[in-house]
């Protein structure tokens, strides 16, 4: 049993247990030391991931390859920077409890297990290890009714989605006789029975819930709005990457020969997500709800590459995810900084005059909004370019046209934020922000702004990852 392949997950899980003890024993505030220890554990784990070998472990239930490495680095980046955003926010919001970073750590362990799962049972274990901490994190501001409501909604609907996935897995096992991905691929290479197709639909339903794709998006606006802002930033980045990469692993691997069946489902989900994300956000006044609908739309664009079912499309998905994580973290760094007289502000109108009161923050927010709208030469333009090109090359003209039209519609609400910042009468300035938030804001802003100078590194890494997955 080549257990050393799973060394990154083992090290991170053991680190979490040790950090938990460090937080419990002393009778003093351990939020900041524990947070720093968790960020350090993420950095060490990322180094181990980059040096990880290839192969399978634990009787074929765990796989280490280039695709898993790509996904894990993105997950660890999203988790670490979301925790940096939480440092100042939690202190000012009276949420300084050491359990917060520990819950993020164990959720990250679950995500890493998900993307390396090579068996439906390992997949389910990773998914539940991710979900349980997320339920608690969503309701972490327990004195806030909206946060408690967000946690409860996510828990109830998440339990339903987990049940659908588990039921689908049991159907696949019943008709195919195995849950191992490699053996499933062999069993389904000739002809898949109707029972397996039905089981796959149920599995896809559970995974679509995790990526907040239509029609399983209903939890997203309320949870994004109600959860503490750093938790929302975490929800919008790392778990989304893990779930989409898991979906790719499941569909391309064991169910690769059933592409004709699942492409139709992904096509409909992608189109519906783009349409809803484009139109539903127009009337939003709360910036976190707007970002919720925006994330639904971006999932639709990413799934366009998966619907194409070609190496070019799969590469486009990974490039899109990497750019999406960077843009979102930067945007949420701005949202976390929206604080006046010690109170968090979430209304878009409160950004009025930001171009004069805080030119740097307004500049980075404008960069992120233009990028999300797909304006060249920013990073978001290249993310959409790769998935649209893949769709056109594969003859998915209708899906590509829907993507372009919904991008135009979505540009309205992104550019409205820029208009409020630069052309509306100035509102009162925001409180001073922590240096760590400014670093995240500027770092992600520079990556978004100058991505066109060095796209080859990301595209090459995505190509290697897809070659490992398809091989």
Domain span at residue 383 reads 3-470
Of the candidate ranges 110-114, 240-244, 254-258, 440-444, the one whose mean pLDDT is the lowest: 254-258
The 10s digit of each residue's pLDDT in 186-201 is 887 776 788 888 888 8
**pLDDT exceeds 90 at position 443:** yes
What is residue 196's predicted lDDT score, i.e. its pLDDT?
86
The 10s digit of each residue's pLDDT in 445-467 is 999 999 988 888 999 999 999 98
Closest C-alpha among 8, 14, 138 to residue 64 = 8
Confidence band for 1, pLDDT divided at 50, 70 and 90: low
Contacts of 300 (CB under 8 A, 6+ apart): 213, 214, 269, 270, 271, 272, 273, 274, 275, 276, 277, 403, 406
The 10s digit of each residue's pLDDT in 211-226 is 889 888 888 899 998 8
Of 374 and 93, more confident? 374
What is residue 447's predicted lDDT score, i.e. its pLDDT?
93
What is residue 145's predicted lDDT score, i.e. its pLDDT?
85
- Spatial separation of the C-alpha atoms in residues 454 and 458, rounded to whole Å: 8
**pLDDT exceeds 90 at position 363:** yes
**pLDDT exceeds 80 at position 103:** yes
- Spatial separation of the C-alpha atoms in residues 443 and 255, rounded to whole Å: 39
**pLDDT exceeds 90 at position 272:** yes
Instruction: Return mean pLDDT, the chain.
Output: 89
**pLDDT exceeds 90 at position 345:** no
Of the candidate ranges 56-65, 264-273, 372-381, the one whose mean pLDDT is the lowest: 56-65
Closest C-alpha among 241, 222, 225 to residue 155 = 222
Confidence band for 471, pLDDT divided at 50, 70 and 90: low
Instruction: Compute the Cα dihedral for 356, 358, 362, 363 and give only its sign.
Output: positive
The 10s digit of each residue's pLDDT in 172-181 is 999 888 888 8
- Spatial separation of the C-alpha atoms in residues 104 and 316, rounded to whole Å: 28
Of the candidate ranges 52-56, 60-64, 66-70, the one whose mean pLDDT is the lowest: 52-56
Q: Both tokens of residue 425?
A: 């009468």
Burial of 425 from C-beta contacts in 10 A (0-12 / 13-18 / 19+): exposed
For the chain, the domain total comes to 1
Contacts of 56 (CB under 8 A, 6+ apart): 2, 5, 62, 63, 64, 118
pTM of the model: 0.93
What is residue 97's predicted lDDT score, i.e. its pLDDT?
85
């Amino acid at each position: 049993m080549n257990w050393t392949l799973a060394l990154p997950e083992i090290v991170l899980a053991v680190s979490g247990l040790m950090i938990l003890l460090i937080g419990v024993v002393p009778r003093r505030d351990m939020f900041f030391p524990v947070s720093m220890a968790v960020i350090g554990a993420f950095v060490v784990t990322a180094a181990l991931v980059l040096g990880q070998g290839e192969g399978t472990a634990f009787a074929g239930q765990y796989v280490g390859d280039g695709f898993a490495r790509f996904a894990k680095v993105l997950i660890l980046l999203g988790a670490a920077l979301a925790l940096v955003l939480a440092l100042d926010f939690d202190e000012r919001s009276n949420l300084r409890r050491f359990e917060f970073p520990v819950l993020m750590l164990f959720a990250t362990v679950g995500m890493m297990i998900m993307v390396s799962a090579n068996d439906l049972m390992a997949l389910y274990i990773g998914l539940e290890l991710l979900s349980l901490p997320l339920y608690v994190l969503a309701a972490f501001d327990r004195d806030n009714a909206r946060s408690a409501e967000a946690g409860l909604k996510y828990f109830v609907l998440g339990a339903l989605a987990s049940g659908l996935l588990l039921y689908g897995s049991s159907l696949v096992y019943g008709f195919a006789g195995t849950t191992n991905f490699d053996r499933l691929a062999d069993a389904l290479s000739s002809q898949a029975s109707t029972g397996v197709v039905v089981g796959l639909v149920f599995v896809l339903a559970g995974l679509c819930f995790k990526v907040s794709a239509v029609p399983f998006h209903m939890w997203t606006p309320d949870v994004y709005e109600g959860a503490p802002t750093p938790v929302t930033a975490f929800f919008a980045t790392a778990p989304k990457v893990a779930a989409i990469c898991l979906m790719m692993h499941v569909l391309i691997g064991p169910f690769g020969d059933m592409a004709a069946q699942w492409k139709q489902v992904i096509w409909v989900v992608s189109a519906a997500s783009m349409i809803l994300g484009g139109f539903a956000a127009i009337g939003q006044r709360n910036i976190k709800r707007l970002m919720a609908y925006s994330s639904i739309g971006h999932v639709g664009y990413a799934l366009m590459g998966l619907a194409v079912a070609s190496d070019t499309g799969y590469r486009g998905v990974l490039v899109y995810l990497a750019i999406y994580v960077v843009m979102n973290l930067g945007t949420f760094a701005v949202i976390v900084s929206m604080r006046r007289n010690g109170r968090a502000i979430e209304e878009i109108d409160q950004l009025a005059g930001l171009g004069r009161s805080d030119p740097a923050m307004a500049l980075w927010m404008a960069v992120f909004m233009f990028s999300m709208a797909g304006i060249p030469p920013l990073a978001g333009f290249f993310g959409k370019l790769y998935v649209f090109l893949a769709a056109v090359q594969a003859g998915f003209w209708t899906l590509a046209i829907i993507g372009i039209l919904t991008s135009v519609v979505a540009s309205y609400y992104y550019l409205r934020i820029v208009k409020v910042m630069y052309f509306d009468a100035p509102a009162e300035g925001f409180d001073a922000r922590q240096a760590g938030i400014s670093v995240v804001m500027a770092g992600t802003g520079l990556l978004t702004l100058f991505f066109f100078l060095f796209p080859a590194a990301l595209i090459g890494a995505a190509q290697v990852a897809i070659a490992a997955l398809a091989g």
